[in-house]
Structure 1
């Protein structure tokens, strides 16, 4: 989770746009390679937006990239036996595109304009549709859904700040409950750090912060935690900055912490 990931992710996206036009001419091996590359790009381009304020690699090239083509091509060529259903993404690529859209919206600290409200409504609808699928076999997806919901609630156009704070607080408690049932060795640390960072940023009570810190420290102690150390330092900075915002009422502190995380203050 390097701090200079933005230019690398952006460059990989543009490289993929150059390869996409030749999809139909590829044999199995290049097609499998392309599928892995596109999933890796979608994952990093969406997840790392939370930590890199300058990263928005998907918006400018999403149409040009023709993401559905990479996935439908594998099915058309009947090469699914050569490749896991999705070797990198834990769920549909559209869910990760929703993460990118929600993160972009959550960065905004003012009221949304008409175009942004349209995007918000579309993203919220996609999230609700995705939630209709049964994900009981993967607890991490419940945590991702919870964190994505928090991002969208931050800029919900039909809610007051008090209503946002209340619903975000409820989502936090639900997320902290999910953490208890997560087995860290089943997931790559970087995969769990995205929702943990969101939950940590909206934690204002010591018991909430402790729950998040304890789980991140668990990742660190597993000797897979270089990225976890970086995220914990980031959260400590969020908490240190937030505690000096004395003019911020308690009901708004959760929103403030999330904004600090997104701004990389």
Structure 2
């Protein structure tokens, strides 16, 4: 794909320390409109902390985050959501006992019009179920036809689809996904990968954190490689194969190696 010149979301020189441990050591990141950016790195590379900074869960000690070229303070998850950044965590953060529609609108419940909704705060379950089905259909989720079904009755892939649909429904700019195919079988993993591609096709930019290299190379437009709290390279699947990406990630290959481009 053709990457626009101006990043949608940027991180510059982010530093985050936990006592004597430096989780982020001046890391950078650029996310462009309409792209899927994969973030990879070994355990302890700082990728989870980086994503927490971008999603408002953690405030960096140093550095700057920019949205549309201007500085933005994402000091809470609510601030990130207000900026159009939604996150699908590895734990999914769904309520198993609630139905699909209630999970989709969790914290953003629709109320009935007029006095009933304004004064008595009565929820409009019918409209939430209609809207939930519309959002699922827009992403091509055909395995869920009853938005009134309890989430605890769904498979792992279907639960992931509900979480992704919620993020796509309310994220106006960016959707961040943390290990979206973890603990899923082959068939459900590919369904989730297709879902991620459809999220991008809907006009959103996507950041995917994953340890699954085949999945990364299947869907990513660019790959951000994190090591020891810093970005060491940004490559594309066309210029770098999986073996080289792992070598860069572990420090076995340096930036001067062929077929590797630093951002």
> TM-score w.r.t. structure 1 length?
0.30
- Flag the structure with more relative contact order, 1 or 2, with Cα contacts below 8 A and sequence separation at least 6: 2
> TM-score w.r.t. structure 2 length?
0.30
More helix as a share of residues: 1
